[in-house]
Amino acid sequence: MSKKAIWGIDREALELILGASRLSHPWEFAAVLRARESVIREVLFLPGTLALNQSAVLRLHMLPIDPSACGTVHSHPSGSASPSQEDLMLFTKYGRVHIIVAEPFDEHSWRAYDYRGNELKLEVTELKKQVSKG
């Protein structure tokens, strides 16, 4: 894992997270976050992840050796984006940034946390597409 602080999340990655959370409802959705240049740009879906109505279980041993993997994301169908005690235990074991998405799974119902459970502010960014000249 890179040691640079994560300061943003790409809008497309956030929209994927929100959509996956809505599709998984009433069960929890869970995945791993991948960052480049200190911005979360991708969501990794791990094989064997279990989605239940009260929890989701990530099989972190299925994570490829990947220095760009920076944390986790999961949904809370209950409507609260605050971390539970189980979430806080996961945060201390893996990753530097963790996102919790709550119902109604929109741009205003998610929060980011550091490995200690302190809330982080992530800027939503637009990935600049390169246009080929020719």
Catalytic residue numbers read 28
Sign of CA dihedral 93, 16, 69, 112: negative
The residues facing 76 across adjacent strands are: 102
Alpha-carbon distance 65 to 68, whole Å? 9
75-89: b (≥16 Cβ within 10 Å) or e: bbbeeebebeeebee
If we measure between CA atoms, which residue out of 1, 19, 38, 6 comes closest to residue 101? 19
